[in-house]
Structures are given as C-alpha cells and as structure tokens.
Amino acid sequence: MYSVFFDTNTFLRYYLRDNEQQYTECQTLFTLSEQKYIIPHTSSAVCLEVYYVLTKTYRLKKDRALLFLENIFNLQHLTLIEKTNITDAIKLHKKTKIKLADCIIALQVPKNCLLCTYGKDFQKIDTVTAHTPKELLALLS
C-alpha cells in the first residue's frame, strides 16, 4: 500500500474535467483511495490553492468552490496535513526559485509519501518523490 499526497492540480483536473485523460487518471487514483489501495494525503495549503484557482482563475462562485473543497474533505481515509514550516519554505523558495506555495506543499509531504502532481517544478526538490498520476498508476500496477 502506498501513501500518496495529492497536489492542487490533481484535484482541479478531476473536479473541472477540462482534460479528459488527466480526469480519468485522477478519477482512477481517487477510486483506488476509496478502495484502500492507497492512503490519501493533502494539506490546507493545497485546499487554499484549489479555492483560489477556482474563484480567481475559473471565476466560480464562492459557494461552488466551497463545494469542491467539501468534496476533497469527503475523500475517504484522507489525512489532512495542517502543519507548515514557512521559514524552511522561504529558504527552499530562495534556493530553487520555485513558487512559494509549491515549496510549502513540498515540505508538507510526509516521509515515505509519494507526491502526485502534474507540476514539473517538484522534480527540482530532492526531499519529495513526485509522480504524475499516469506515472503513479503505472507504479501501482
């Protein structure tokens, strides 16, 4: 059984369904999570990013964006990471030039947990093991 930390874009691709292949990959992972083949994790920082992107980029009404967040919280067996080390995130941001939000998220991923993301910048951070949903599905099969 694998522990998987879901990044912002995995939730967005699933809930927005704006890329059919990525939607299917994420849907399969969330189904595996419900079937207890993987242990899902995410964080408050990811939820904040999801809400921001939905309301600012996609211009969804706040009530609808909040429904998306509630769906994340309803993911069975989900562990929500609340702890943030902003000092280390700032240091990592200065070192790597990666978005500060992604540095915060990278530092929230528990040890022995795979990061599931479409974001390529995470590959530059040696403290996390990042996989796209497609790569993760291949690893699980």
What digits encode the pLDDT tens for the residues 29-84? 999 999 999 999 999 999 999 999 999 999 999 999 999 999 999 888 899 999 99
pTM score? 0.93
User: Domains of the chain: which residue ranges?
Assistant: 2-140
For the cut 90, the answer to whether the pLDDT of residue 88 exceeds it is yes
Band of the pLDDT at 98, cuts 50, 70, 90? very high
- pLDDT tens column, 12-33: 999 999 999 999 999 999 999 9
| Of 91, 88, 93, 108, residue with least CA distance to 47 | 108
As a whole number of angstroms, the distance between CA 98 and CA 49 comes to: 15
Confidence at residue 126, expressed as pLDDT on a 0 to 100 scale: 87
Return phi, psi of residue 58, to 5°: -95, -5
For 2-140, CATH gives 3.40.50.1010
**Could you tell me the two tokens for 36?**
């207890």
Residue 141 has pLDDT above 90, yes or no: no
